[in-house]
């Protein structure tokens, strides 16, 4: 089949786009507002961009109400800091719960029955039960086009501090099978990474 995205003429009951770029890692992001309220939300428009310096991005879309940006975006842009927590299979229910659109002063951390730990270099805290945390400084945002009034905006950040649970390090390498990271597919579907394979690069 072929369809044109402007015409959306795929003929399927659901737009397949999010099922075509898979699996997408999940940035489980903690931020803080100017009053110190801690916010937590998952973002699967998320990825690493480069490693020296290490930089990452996440992108917000589907504003709850037009003109009001999501809390993670607002807090990252106004406070200049955020933390990316690793979303694992063990924490999958909490990851999902933390996507609830709670009022600004109500924390998804408590709602998902999670605890936090202070960060080393930034104000937003880390999720205690998550085994990896990336402490990030906001770099800049890029406004993307929108066909429906949503705020489609990419946030770029520089990773300035990294916490890794020591039990994940086996023979000097990160053992992914001990993390069991989850990733987003299309629809309501997820994947879990619980086995890997290796290949040497040519040349
Ligand atoms: C696994 C998962 C991934 C998500 N990825 C995104 C995303 O990439 N961009 C986005 O705008 N919303 C995404 N959402 C929805 C947000 O998490 C949701 O709108 C949340 O309420 C935003 O919270 P905030 O306003 O506290 O930032 C995702 C939800 C789930 C469950």
Amino acid 105: pLDDT: 83
Determine which residue's CA is closest to atom 20 belonging to ligand 1. Answer: 99
Q: Is the pLDDT of residue 62 over 90?
A: no
Tokens linked to 97: 């719960």
- pLDDT, mean of residues 137-141: 98
- pLDDT, mean of residues 9-38: 97
Per residue in 154-173, pLDDT tens? 999 999 999 999 999 999 99
Which of 124, 123, 153, 131 shows the shortest CA–CA distance to 57? 153
- The domains of the chain are located at 17-186
Q: What predicted TM-score, i.e. pTM, was given to this entire model?
A: 0.97
Tell me which of 3.40.50.880, 2.30.110.10, 1.10.287.3240, 3.40.109.10 is the CATH number of domain 17-186: 2.30.110.10
Q: For ligand 1, say whether the CB of 116 is within 6 Å of any of its atoms.
A: no
Q: For ligand 1, say whether the CB of 81 is within 6 Å of any of its atoms.
A: no
Report how far ligand 1's centroid is from the alpha carbon of 47 (Å).
14
Strand partners, 46: 58
Q: For ligand 1, say whether the CB of 184 is within 6 Å of any of its atoms.
A: yes
Determine which residue's CA is closest to atom 2 belonging to ligand 1. Answer: 42
Per residue in 43-52, pLDDT tens? 999 999 999 9
Check if the beta carbon of residue 131 is closer than 8 Å to that of residue 61: no
Among 39-48, 62-71, 154-163, 189-198, the least confident range: 62-71
Q: For ligand 1, say whether the CB of 38 is within 6 Å of any of its atoms.
A: no
DSSP codes of every residue in 32-91: E-TT--EEEEEESSEEEEEETTEEEEEEE-S-SSTT---HHHHHHHHH-EEEEEE-BSTT
Determine which residue's CA is closest to atom 6 belonging to ligand 1. Answer: 43
Amino acid 65: pLDDT: 64
Q: Is the pLDDT of residue 66 over 80?
A: no
Confidence of residue 63 (pLDDT cuts 50, 70, 90): low
């Amino acid at each position: 089949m072929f369809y044109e995205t402007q015409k959306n003429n795929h003929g399927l009951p659901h737009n397949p786009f999010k099922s075509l770029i898979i699996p997408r890692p999940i940035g489980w992001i903690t931020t803080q507002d100017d009053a110190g309220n801690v916010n937590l939300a998952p973002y699967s428009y998320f990825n690493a961009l480069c490693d020296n310096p290490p930089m990452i991005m996440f992108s917000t879309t589907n504003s709850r109400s037009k003109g009001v940006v999501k809390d993670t975006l607002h807090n990252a842009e106004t406070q200049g800091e955020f933390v990316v927590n690793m979303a694992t299979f063990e924490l999958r229910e909490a990851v999902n719960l933390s996507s609830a659109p709670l009022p600004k002063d109500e924390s998804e951390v408590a709602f998902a029955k999670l605890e936090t730990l202070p960060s080393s270099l930034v104000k937003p805290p880390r999720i205690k039960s998550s085994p990896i945390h990336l402490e990030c400084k906001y770099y800049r945002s890029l406004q993307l086009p929108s066909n429906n009034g949503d705020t489609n905006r990419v946030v770029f950040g520089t990773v300035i501090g990294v916490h890794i649970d020591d039990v994940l390090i086996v023979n000097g390498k990160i053992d992914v099978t001990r993390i069991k990271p989850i990733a987003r597919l299309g629809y309501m579907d997820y994947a879990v990474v619980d086995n890997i394979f290796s290949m040497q690069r040519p040349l």
